[in-house]
Structure 1
Amino acid sequence: MATSSRSVIGDLSRRGFIKSTAAAAGGLVVACYLPGCSKPEQVAKHSGPPKMVKANAWLQIGTDGSITMFCDKSEMGQGVYTALPTLLAEELGVEPTTIKVEFAPPGNEYVNKLLGAQATGGSTSVREAWDKIRMAGAEARTRLIAAAAKEWGAPPQSCTVADGYVLFTSRRASFGELAEAAAAMPAPQNVQVKGHNEFKYVGKVLPRLDTPSKVDGSAQYGIDMRLPGMLYAALAQPPELGASVKSFNADKAKTMPGVREVLQTSSGVAVVADTWWQAKTARDALDIQWAPGAAAKLTNASIYAGLKTASSGKGLDVRKEGDVDAGWKENTRRVEATYELPLLAHATLEPQNCTVEFRDDGCHVYAPTQVQQMSQSAAMKASGLPAEKVFVHTTFLGGGFGRRLDVDFVPAAVECAKAMNKPVKLLWTREDDTTHDKYRPPARNTLSGAFDGNGKLNTVKIHLVAPSITSRWAPGAVPQGTPDPFAVEAAHNFPYDVPNLHIDYLQHEVGLEVGYWRSVSHALNCFTVESFMDELAAEAQMDPVEFRRSLLGKQPRWLSVLDAAAHKANWGQPPAGRYQGVALMSGYDTYLAQVAEISLDGDKLKVHRIVCAIDCGQMVNPGIVQAQAEGGIIFGLTAALFSEINVVNGKVQETNFDKYRLLRINEAPSIEIHLLNSDEKPGGMGEPTVALVAPAVCNAIYAATKKRLRKLPIAKQGFTI
């Protein structure tokens, strides 16, 4: 936790961290410089909006006193449009509502240092911005004070800032008046960020800055884009995964109202028309012959059979402590279980879309994307233009959940706009989206545990088998012979104190491309580990909470959330006819425990209540934290109860929300979020609550029925909802 006397954050140089642009900018532009990104000297070569400085994140103070923040994270409901400006406002001493927010363009300088790519994901937005955005604000504040102090002949340490002014005794000057002079000041030597006890905005529940525009309809999502003279495109994609266009007949489609052109693209056949419905109707009239691909015979049965066969092999070591082989041989009181997890779709409420316009200066891409540079690269390849002529304009995202970490919806839009020489908006249907997703990986995980002669848990083995997303998405991040770090989450940090522990991961590809899905492998492995911990508790004849507590003596943050959740849920004393289950996890530098309360009427399951205790370190805006926690629980409960993607002969069977349904409002439980106060650095909150729902609910089902659920979704395991 930073204090008011700190002069260094992490390993970042105060001198080299931030440089200003030239005074010709008409104001003060401050950029955050991180080692390994563009050099700070480059900043001086750029000036003024709308041009962006080559920096990770920066702010502009105009001579009119306006403050603009260029946000390097995509806003998909998780609240960065509010949280990141709040960090800036805190250091500048201004109301967050006075800061205008614009989204940053593609650039190496905007690489998310926690992910190694320009990407919004992994619940990293606030964690990654915590130091650098505060530093940007503190640097600007220091420059403004220095400029005012020089003008007044005053000691800088006696000057303060408030509400857009620098103050000294009875004198004051606005940020706008000082902006040009501040830009000319030398880089300050000793910048101080505020300490916890000085925060005015951080840690408070403040209104979201994006709410007004979303209420009045002025917020721009990708699907909202309108450009003069714009045409619309609908894309026919292969009905079978991996298939390609063999031939097509467009004669009928070309005669239909509004149709301008039928084009073969890199991902299918597109119809371009005056309206999207005209394009979609004509698309459906196309006669296309498809050439089957490698997935033509792929079925769920073959996928899970492959995982089962692969699971007999040895994986790459993730963690090894003690002597597991000896512990297993010496202790014959054992528990073994295998858990299977299904393929899942992201099901973003805004289907994939992209709008493209070619202008004199190049190709402009308007997209709800989580990866600006990858979108730019896809557009470069499709357009044949260099990076400096491809501009990506990020819109609000109507749901991301990891789906928009892929850019398969960009190339066809670029190809259509290039062919038509007019702006074109390409929009996928819900059916396109559900049947052509980058699905959450399936998994087959086998766990084993052994107790010693005193009834103490002595040995645990965790064998994870699943495809690797990162090997496709960022192969350089997974060196040969090392496990994909995004495949072993919520297992590698197994918190329970046992003498002998072995965790390994075996990568097994299943014949289709898999993608990052909200909480990634936390959802897979938390279900596995926390379900198994309940099985071990039953074998030990101990209460599930007390069993976990007995193994968490060295893990105070884990223990704190477990105790808080159990206390708030009145653990062990549910209302008559109800049953409880618990799950515990740490992910994204956040610690959580959940208690689910359910009832059963025959085979009809009702989830009545979920209580969640969270320690996510310092909170920027507790209101946003609570909203994310609640939304994650609903998302996780939908998946636990209903969600599964089925493939038959290469064709995905689920098409829309009638077959891949969401939780309905009458099915939603009462949700209680309890946030623990902490001065630790912020943890992530976009994803973690998703992962605990399935094991907590399934453990509650065991409490009610003594039936173990080792497969999901629950609705396909003999229960109705």
Structure 2
Amino acid sequence: MAQGARLTMELSRRHLLVGAALGGGLVVAWGLRKRPYPLPLPPGEGEVAFDAWIRVARDGVVTLSVPQLEMGQGISTQLAQIAALELGADWRQMGVVFAPVSEIFANEALAARWAELWLPMAPENGIPADNWLARHWAQEHRFTATADGMSLAAYEAPVRHAAAGARALLVKAAARRWGVNAQDCTVSAGLVRHGQQSLAFGALAQEASGLTLPDPLPLGPPPAESPARLPSGSTPPFPRLDAPAKLDGGWMFAGDVRLPDMLFAAIRHAPLGEAAHLAGHDAKAAKGINGFLKLVEGPDWLAAVASNSWAAEQALAAVAPRFSVHRPISAEKVDGALDNALKAAIKQGGQTIAKQGDPEALLGSKPPYSQRYDAAAAVAAPLETASAVARLRKGRCEIWVASQAPEQTRRAVAKALDISVEHVVLYPLAAGGSFDARLECPHAVEAALIARETGKPVLLTYTRWQEALTAIHRPPLAAQIEARVDQTGTIAAWRLRVAMPSAAREFGARLLQGVSRAEAMAHHQNAHADPLAMEGFVPPYSFALAIEQAPVSVGLPTGRLRGNGHALGAFITESFVDEIAAAQGREPLSYRMAMLEGDPRLAACLQRVSALANWNGGHDASGQGIACHRIRGGCIAAVVTARRGDEGVAVDRIVAVADIGRIVNVDIARQQIEGGLVYGMGLALGSAPVWNGGLPTGARLAALNLPLLANCPEVVVDLIASTADPEDPGELGVAVAAPAIANALFSATGLRLRRLPLGSED
């Protein structure tokens, strides 16, 4: 089989039929019929299951199944809030449980957005969220991934319908007991009421579960909170469900799991480069370490197993594993590959991502504005390093892990152990931050292999060094951007050429097709353009434009990271717009407003943030910078105050205004935007490891120049009330932070920084 053959979907009669349907020919019926699935999580003692989503206990506690990874973004609270409002439950009696993998919980919305990753003939702009093909594929692959801010889009409707159904049945049961019309009953605070009579959910659940659902379901209004009625600092009506457990230490992570006879494993991986493999080690050196039990070899890693984690680490240090690697990765090789690809794209043109109008005719042969922008590779650097527990018993493998794509993790484990995926049981746990670092879980595979060799349960935990060494990177890039203005000084035409890995396609090959990192990089070295990776590079402004990509492999495994292409695209767009405004002697805010004729919501964000931040135009070295961005149905504008401090860049204040449509939970929305702004600050000023000889030269968090509590700026977030469809707020702040900081530094110093991290040119 050729090297790239495994990367192509296996052609079958099914895929031929799908292709015919997409091409306008034969339309087939498979995938359209509803299939019955067993309950993925049977009710416990004293509980009644109304469906896969909702269970009601005798004591009135309502438990919602949450099929998304909780990694601090608050999705478990938001889905529970949606269920409680529709059901009429008492928030004090709401609980959540992380749902096991099941077709019932398929994330059809994300499957449609990521169509290019699994559908060879996918249209360039993806497929609609309600497309039957996306539904079938998501169900067939038990695809419940948590990513791209699609949780509400995917699960708000099914949760509301499940809660409305449970409420209707509870009301019907109560009405039968009282001999009254169900329409005369009301539901609130976990009680069904009629006049002076009331019955608790727990007393009605058993009887209600055996009744027939009404058709259509009586849905209430969609949940919506007003930001004006819930100003910052006010008590939220629906406080986070995970907060108490996190405060008292009861919140469970994979590293907290303890099983009988469990062992502890430490691991060392090979440096990054071609054909990396384990070359040798001194096994005898570990024999005298108290608690050490065994070494387990992988193709490019070595693990030590002991009765405690300290002994495992000491054993690895003693045996001193040696690795062989061909052409180890270095910063010079990454930059060289990008330089060569960009030069070729400038000379020959890249692959078109987006085009509007006739930019070539307007730009001419020598556009007056032309600049080079660069971004180094960045890593997620979550506070919790990778950890997983594995246990093999009677031909079955149990895995305790925080995974953004649990079914794909199950399949990877099954493939490594050469067992059926049905014999892999995954217990979903929360993550201590992820930022897309837990979309892929090679540590779960390694834990399973180590457990097989030891015959006992094993907890594998990466050190910070191993987390950095095995990280998937946000793709680095080199970009050339050109523009020409009209007679009024307003931008008329814009061309952007970006040399960058096809990170989304590379990621999709690893996650969905199970290929190795090396195979995925090799296959996508000269791949087609990657619209998903380049999402966010199209400006929101009304001028003629052309966006092109030159796909290139840089030797680093690349993929998803919070903000994704939006964080990179916004940095280039908003920095260059600011640059042209300054050259034209125009005030940056009004300059942007003049080009936002077709986007009143983004214009409103700019207007409000200028008033809230006391925007002065960035004049007189004030250190104020402004930037805005749109991600699908959400938009944001920010004003940053920054300066050059004694220890580098100092960000003093960030003011942001966002429109994210209908807001389910104002408190969580603010948290997400605040967190995104601080995370974006980290990406703007650091988060970029330097590679030498295939190893990161600084692997500790302190070496990544991340924001500390001591130097975090004042952050002010305002939300605009809207009736538009809800949009996830989690990545908006990440996208707008870097350009706003860069523009603020230009105001403060007169220096234009065009490389991420900012200041790395020095």
Q: Normalization by structure 1: what TM-score?
A: 0.88
C-alpha distance in structure 1 between counterparts of 2:101 and 2:446, whole Å: 20
User: Partner of 2:269 in structure 1?
Assistant: 237
State whether structure 2 residue 64 is matched by structure 1 residue 58.
Answer: no
Q: How does 1:437-448 map to 2 (within 5 A)?
A: 437-448=471-482
User: Partner of 1:3 in structure 2?
Assistant: none
State whether structure 2 residue 245 is matched by structure 1 residue 226.
Answer: no
- Partner of residue 200 from structure 2, selected from 155, 170, 174: 174
Q: How does 1:81-480 map to 2 (within 5 A)?
A: 81-116=76-111, 117-195=143-221, 205-241=237-273, 243-293=276-326, 296-311=327-342, 312-313=344-345, 314-329=349-364, 334-360=368-394, 362-475=396-509
**Cα distance change, pair 307–318 in 1 and its aligned pair in 2 (3 A):** same
Aligned residues: 679
TM-superposition CA deviations, 1:106-133 (whole Å, max 9, x none): 2333232232242112122223222221
User: Partner of 2:760 in structure 1?
Assistant: 716
CA contact (8 A) 2:687 2:704 kept: yes
State whether structure 2 residue 537 is matched by structure 1 residue 491.
Answer: yes
SS in 2 for 1:195: coil
The offset of 1:49, in angstroms, is 4.1
CA contact (8 A) 1:138 1:193 kept: yes
Unaligned ranges ≥5, structure 2: 1-29, 112-142, 231-235, 514-522
State whether structure 2 residue 64 is matched by structure 1 residue 69.
Answer: yes
C-alpha distance in structure 2 between counterparts of 1:200 and 1:651, whole Å: 49
SS in 1 for 2:756: coil
CA contact (8 A) 2:271 2:328 kept: no
SS in 2 for 1:257: coil
**Cα distance change, pair 205–600 in 1 and its aligned pair in 2 (3 A):** farther
CA contact (8 A) 2:685 2:705 kept: no
CA contact (8 A) 1:254 1:262 kept: no
C-alpha distance in structure 2 between counterparts of 1:420 and 1:250, whole Å: 16
**Cα distance change, pair 289–705 in 1 and its aligned pair in 2 (3 A):** closer
CA contact (8 A) 1:340 1:710 kept: yes
C-alpha distance in structure 1 between counterparts of 2:174 and 2:73, whole Å: 38
User: Partner of 1:78 in structure 2?
Assistant: 73
RMSD of aligned Cα (Å): 3.0
CA contact (8 A) 1:355 1:365 kept: yes
**Cα distance change, pair 708–54 in 1 and its aligned pair in 2 (3 A):** farther
C-alpha distance in structure 2 between counterparts of 1:382 and 1:135, whole Å: 39
**Cα distance change, pair 557–236 in 1 and its aligned pair in 2 (3 A):** same
- Partner of residue 592 from structure 1, selected from 629, 636, 639: 636
**Cα distance change, pair 471–333 in 1 and its aligned pair in 2 (3 A):** closer
**2:686 corresponds to which letter in structure 1?**
F
User: Partner of 1:547 in structure 2?
Assistant: 591
The offset of 1:654, in angstroms, is 2.0
C-alpha distance in structure 2 between counterparts of 1:278 and 1:37, whole Å: 55
CA contact (8 A) 1:241 1:651 kept: no
**Cα distance change, pair 46–56 in 1 and its aligned pair in 2 (3 A):** closer
CA contact (8 A) 2:618 2:747 kept: no
**1:234 corresponds to which letter in structure 2?**
A
| More moved, 617-626 vs 659-668 | 659-668
C-alpha distance in structure 2 between counterparts of 1:131 and 1:299, whole Å: 48
SS in 1 for 2:532: helix
CA contact (8 A) 2:43 2:49 kept: no
**1:306 corresponds to which letter in structure 2?**
A
CA contact (8 A) 2:273 2:328 kept: no
User: Partner of 1:518 in structure 2?
Assistant: 562
C-alpha distance in structure 1 between counterparts of 2:104 and 2:301, whole Å: 34
C-alpha distance in structure 2 between counterparts of 1:431 and 1:37, whole Å: 48
State whether structure 2 residue 705 is matched by structure 1 residue 670.
Answer: no
**1:77 corresponds to which letter in structure 2?**
G
**Cα distance change, pair 335–443 in 1 and its aligned pair in 2 (3 A):** same
SS in 1 for 2:642: strand
**1:344 corresponds to which letter in structure 2?**
A
The offset of 1:45, in angstroms, is 9.9
The offset of 1:504, in angstroms, is 2.1
The offset of 1:360, in angstroms, is 4.7
**2:541 corresponds to which letter in structure 1?**
Y
User: Partner of 2:733 in structure 1?
Assistant: 689
Percent identity of equivalent pairs: 29
SS in 2 for 1:627: helix
C-alpha distance in structure 1 between counterparts of 2:52 and 2:494, whole Å: 45
The offset of 1:392, in angstroms, is 0.9
The offset of 1:68, in angstroms, is 1.4
**Cα distance change, pair 419–430 in 1 and its aligned pair in 2 (3 A):** same
C-alpha distance in structure 2 between counterparts of 1:197 and 1:115, whole Å: 22
CA contact (8 A) 1:590 1:614 kept: yes
The offset of 1:651, in angstroms, is 2.3
C-alpha distance in structure 2 between counterparts of 1:196 and 1:308, whole Å: 50
CA contact (8 A) 1:123 1:588 kept: no
TM-superposition CA deviations, 1:659-718 (whole Å, max 9, x none): 223212232111111111112221112222012111111111112233211112224344
**Cα distance change, pair 50–593 in 1 and its aligned pair in 2 (3 A):** farther
C-alpha distance in structure 2 between counterparts of 1:534 and 1:194, whole Å: 46
SS in 1 for 2:698: coil
Q: How does 1:563-712 map to 2 (within 5 A)?
A: 563-572=607-616, 578-600=622-644, 604-712=648-756
C-alpha distance in structure 1 between counterparts of 2:318 and 2:103, whole Å: 44
TM-superposition CA deviations, 1:546-577 (whole Å, max 9, x none): 10000112211110111111111111177986
The offset of 1:454, in angstroms, is 4.0
User: Partner of 1:27 in structure 2?
Assistant: none
**Cα distance change, pair 288–574 in 1 and its aligned pair in 2 (3 A):** closer
User: Partner of 1:6 in structure 2?
Assistant: none
Unaligned ranges ≥5, structure 1: 1-34
**Cα distance change, pair 694–160 in 1 and its aligned pair in 2 (3 A):** same
SS in 1 for 2:388: strand
Q: Normalization by structure 2: what TM-score?
A: 0.84
C-alpha distance in structure 1 between counterparts of 2:297 and 2:754, whole Å: 45
CA contact (8 A) 2:42 2:49 kept: no
C-alpha distance in structure 2 between counterparts of 1:654 and 1:219, whole Å: 31
C-alpha distance in structure 2 between counterparts of 1:107 and 1:53, whole Å: 19
**Cα distance change, pair 508–197 in 1 and its aligned pair in 2 (3 A):** closer
CA contact (8 A) 2:388 2:460 kept: yes
TM-superposition CA deviations, 1:449-492 (whole Å, max 9, x none): 11123433211112222112221222479999864233122223
**2:361 corresponds to which letter in structure 1?**
A
SS in 2 for 1:610: strand
C-alpha distance in structure 2 between counterparts of 1:377 and 1:408, whole Å: 11
CA contact (8 A) 2:90 2:189 kept: yes
**Cα distance change, pair 717–386 in 1 and its aligned pair in 2 (3 A):** same
C-alpha distance in structure 2 between counterparts of 1:406 and 1:170, whole Å: 55
SS in 1 for 2:755: coil
SS in 1 for 2:281: strand
C-alpha distance in structure 1 between counterparts of 2:583 and 2:199, whole Å: 71
**2:705 corresponds to which letter in structure 1?**
R
**2:379 corresponds to which letter in structure 1?**
A
CA contact (8 A) 1:335 1:539 kept: no
The offset of 1:85, in angstroms, is 0.4
C-alpha distance in structure 2 between counterparts of 1:38 and 1:245, whole Å: 50
